[in-house]
A and B are shown apart, each in its own frame.
Chain A
Amino acid sequence: MSEELKFHFIVDGDDFTSAGKASVQVKKNLRQLGLSPETIRRVSIAMYEGEINMVIHAGGGVADVTVTEDYIEILLSDKGPGIKDIDQAMQEGFSTASDNIRSLGFGAGMGLPNMKRYTDYMDIKSTVGVGTDITMRVNI
Chain B
Amino acid sequence: MTVEALTEYGFEAICMPDPDREITGVYIGDLLSWVMGRAKSGDAWLTIMSNINIVAVASLADTSCIILAEGVTLESDVIKTAEAKDINVFSFSGSCYDAAVLLSGLL
A-side residues, CB < 8 A to B, are 16-17, 19-20, 23-24, 27, 37-38, 41, 44-45, 48-49, 104-106, 108-111, 113-114, 117
Contacts and interface: CB of A to CB of B under 8 A. Distances in A.
A16 B32 CA distance: 14
Interface majority SS (helix, strand, loop, mixed), chain A? helix
B101 interface: no
A94 B56 CA distance: 23
Interface in B44-60: 49, 51-54, 56-57, 59-60
28 contacts: A17-B51, A17-B52, A17-B53, A24-B59, A24-B85, A27-B60, A37-B62, A38-B41, A41-B60, A41-B62, A44-B60, A45-B37, A48-B36, A105-B31, A105-B32, A105-B49, A105-B51, A106-B31, A106-B32, A106-B53, A108-B33, A108-B34, A109-B33, A110-B37, A111-B33, A113-B37, A114-B36, A117-B37
A106 B52 CA distance: 12
A32 B37 CA distance: 24
Interface in B24-80: 30-34, 36-37, 41, 49, 51-54, 56-57, 59-62
Contacts, number: 66
Interface SS of B by simple majority: helix
Nearest to B47: A105
Interface residues of B, number: 20
Contact of A110 (B33, B51, B60): B33
B36 A49 contact: yes
Contacts of A24: 56, 59-60, 85
Interface of B: 30-34, 36-37, 41, 49, 51-54, 56-57, 59-62, 85
Contacts of B54: 105
B53 A104 contact: yes
A45 B60 contact: yes
B60 A105 contact: no
A49 B51 CA distance: 17
Nearest to B37: A114
A45 B36 CA distance: 7
Given A44-B60, A113-B37, 12 more contacts: A17-B53, A20-B60, A37-B41, A38-B41, A45-B37, A49-B36, A104-B49, A104-B51, A105-B53, A106-B33, A106-B53, A114-B33
